[in-house]
Amino acid sequence: GDSVTQMEGPVTLSEEAFLTINCTYTATGYPSLFWYVQYPGEGLQLLLKATKADDKGSNKGFEATYRKETTSFHLEKGSVQVSDSAVYFCALKNQAGTALIFGKGTTLSVSS
Amino acid sequence: NAGVTQTPKFQVLKTGQSMTLQCAQDMNHNSMYWYRQDPGMGLRLIYYSASEGTTDKGEVPNGYNVSRLNKREFSLRLESAAPSQTSVYFCASSDRGAQNQPQHFGDGTRLSIL
């Protein structure tokens, strides 16, 4: 079945460091891919999305490119801030569009 | 902008008690979902409702029932709570039939079962 695998955390960085969180997926057909962010005590918020191969999603300085050849959707940010500390979830929506399939989440902690 | 509203935000139950988690959305979305979030497990789908009047099981439906009361509201019921159901529960909604449409989440209900 469809699945999402993300790098395990926690990821600990200093402010202004470069961030990469790896995400790979297994799915039939052409899923849509998403990154969600969860701040402490809150629900999930959509961070960015990509719907077809080579699409780049971007938002708030974060970027991710849909790579079908490597079945990957890695999240990157050039310079992280303390306020980026949160849990990040990679997810896919299958072609049936019934629901999202999530990775287990990666905790990011940024210190000043 | 309320979006997706869940009640209650916190609840403590004793084993065997029942309760209903409420969810309402004001975005006129057709599809609604219930997930549970457990440490190290990500989010897992319990039930979903593709449209008003329909419900389907997700990955972990055992021990739960749902009701799609109308287009706005989708409730999750625990008939006889068990400690294994201690979790954070999230409701979400999205436009139906659009694969690339994201889901919008509520803030969650934190449920502890003693």
Residue of A nearest to B50 (CA): A98
- Residue A26 pairs in a beta bridge with A3
User: Could A43 and B98 be called an inter-chain contact, meaning their C-beta atoms sit closer than 8 Å?
Assistant: no
Q: Name chain B contacts of A51, Cβ cutoff 8 Å.
A: 99-100
Q: Nearest Cβ partner of B100 from A41, A45, A51? A: A51
Q: pLDDT tens digit string along B27-74?
A: 999 999 999 999 888 899 999 998 888 999 999 999 999 999 899 999
Contact A83, A61 (CB under 8 A): no
Give me the sheet containing B19-25, strands edge to edge: B4-7, B19-25, B74-78, B64-68
Comparing CA positions, the residue from A30, A33, A8 lying closest to residue A21 is: A8
CA torsion sign for B93, A40, A61, A95 is: negative
> How far away is chain A from the Cα of B81, in angstroms, using its nearest Cα?
23
Contact A99 B48 (CB under 8 A): yes
Among A79, A8, A93, A24, which residue's Cα sits nearest to residue B48? Answer: A93
At A28, is the pLDDT very low, low, confident or very high (cuts 50, 70, 90)? confident
Evaluate if residue A1 carries a pLDDT over 90. no
Please enumerate residues of B whose Cβ is less than 8 A from a Cβ of A. Answer: 4, 33, 40-45, 48, 50, 56, 58, 90, 92, 96-100, 102-108
Q: Among residues of chain A, what percentage have pLDDT more than 70?
A: 98
Of A61, A60, A57, A66, the closest CA to residue A23 belongs to: A66
B95: pLDDT confidence band, cut at 50, 70 and 90? confident
Shortest alpha-carbon distance between residue A78 and chain B (Å): 25
Q: Which of A34, A44, A97 comes nearest B90 by C-beta? A: A44
Collect all residues with Cβ–Cβ distance below 8 Å to A98 and sequence separation of at least 6: B48, B50, B56
How far apart, in whole angstroms, are the C-alpha atoms of residue B30 and residue B72? Answer: 8
CA dihedral B40, B81, B9, B110 (to 10 degrees): -20
As a whole number of angstroms, the distance between CA A41 and CA A68 comes to 34
pLDDT at res. B29: 92
Closest among B28, B8, B9, B22 to B72, alpha carbons compared: B28
Three-state DSSP string of A48-90: EEECCCCCEEEECCEEEECECCCCECCEEECCCCHHHCEEEEE
